[in-house]
Amino acid sequence: MTRRRFSSNAGGFLFKTGLFAALASLAFFLFNQGDSKKSNRPIDGKPPVEISDDRSEAPGPESQTESQVPEDIFPASSGELVRHTWYALGYAEDHEQAEWVAYELTREHLNEHWAERSNTFRPDQAVHTESATPRDYSSSGYDKGHLCPAADMAFDATAMDETFLMSNMSPQVPAFNKGIWRELEELTRDWARRFKHLYVVTGPVLTQHGLGKIGFNKVTVPAAYYKVLFAPDQQRGIAFILPNLMSEKLVMDFACPIDQVEERTGIDFFPKLPKALGEALEGSLDKNAWPISRTRYEQRVKVWNVRR
């Protein structure tokens, strides 16, 4: 009897000891949880910094680098402002293309080793209303014409690649894209080397009746394009309005003061310039300050236009 009573007491003691250990462990756990929550409370009224571990939507290459485009060169317009690494644009949703593209073109960048052309045409994910797609241009008879030329961004592989986003494309007549538009792009690079750097704003003229629409997204085919140039060191400016068709005229036949492009497009260019300077710059035109290449003109007429 004595041995049996001892065994029963020992069992009860072990049970109580185990129960106490379990309760102690639970209390310790709850204390740590409370302390952990306390450490996440605001300190001096400041909310805690939260670090998200959501990796389901990794940023694309064009959203990883801060834009290098000076905001002072942005035109004043109503389109959605979209910034990329080396150019910015105002997107016109009704026309599924940019109404302007702005960037800085420098001698230093043009003299660097050129990256390989990527030709990776794709929709622009940075456009909130969604951009046009390459399929919109399929079998349309129009080229995917660059507004910011790939060659202007060839100093950097990422910069070059971003020029193939569809927000930077506009439907161009092939003989225009490969002809006088190409010549003006090459002249612009010549002038950037000459003046050290240029501010460039270019785009379609969307205020006049176009040549129709293409694709599922109804992309407007512009009847004309413009290019506005400002050499800040020399305080010189010039603009061009070119019809979207093949031409055998000299590029300078389409030169005009900047304010003439403003009247045609409704866009206010370089609005942050001092008023007196802006008025003088935009109302003047000195073609002699912007020399052109007769050899390149002859090449365009005899070779580029023929290869259309």
pTM for the model: 0.78
Buried residues in 29-65 as b, exposed as e (16+ CB within 10 A): eeeeeeeeeeeeeeeeeeeeeeeeeeeeeeeeebeee
At 86-145, the pLDDT tens digits run 999 999 999 999 999 999 999 999 999 888 888 899 999 999 999 999 999 999 999 999
Catalytic pick from 84, 95, 109, 146? 146
Whole-angstrom Cα distance, residue 17 to residue 101? 78
The amino acid that residue 116 corresponds to is E
Q: What pLDDT sits at residue 287?
A: 95
Q: What pLDDT sits at residue 32?
A: 43
Whole-angstrom Cα distance, residue 234 to residue 179? 29
- Give me the half-sphere count of Cα atoms (radius 13 Å) on the Cβ side of residue 145: 33
Whole-angstrom Cα distance, residue 127 to residue 135? 17
- Could you confirm whether 84 is annotated as catalytic? no
Q: What pLDDT sits at residue 257?
A: 96
Whole-angstrom Cα distance, residue 120 to residue 303? 27
Q: Residue 239: phi, psi to the nearest 5? A: -140, 160
Q: What pLDDT sits at residue 106?
A: 96
At 32-55, the pLDDT tens digits run 444 333 333 333 333 332 222 332
- Torsional class of 162: left (φ above 0), alpha (ψ -120 to 50), beta (otherwise): alpha
Q: Which residues of the chain have pLDDT under 50?
A: 1-17, 19, 21, 23-24, 26-64
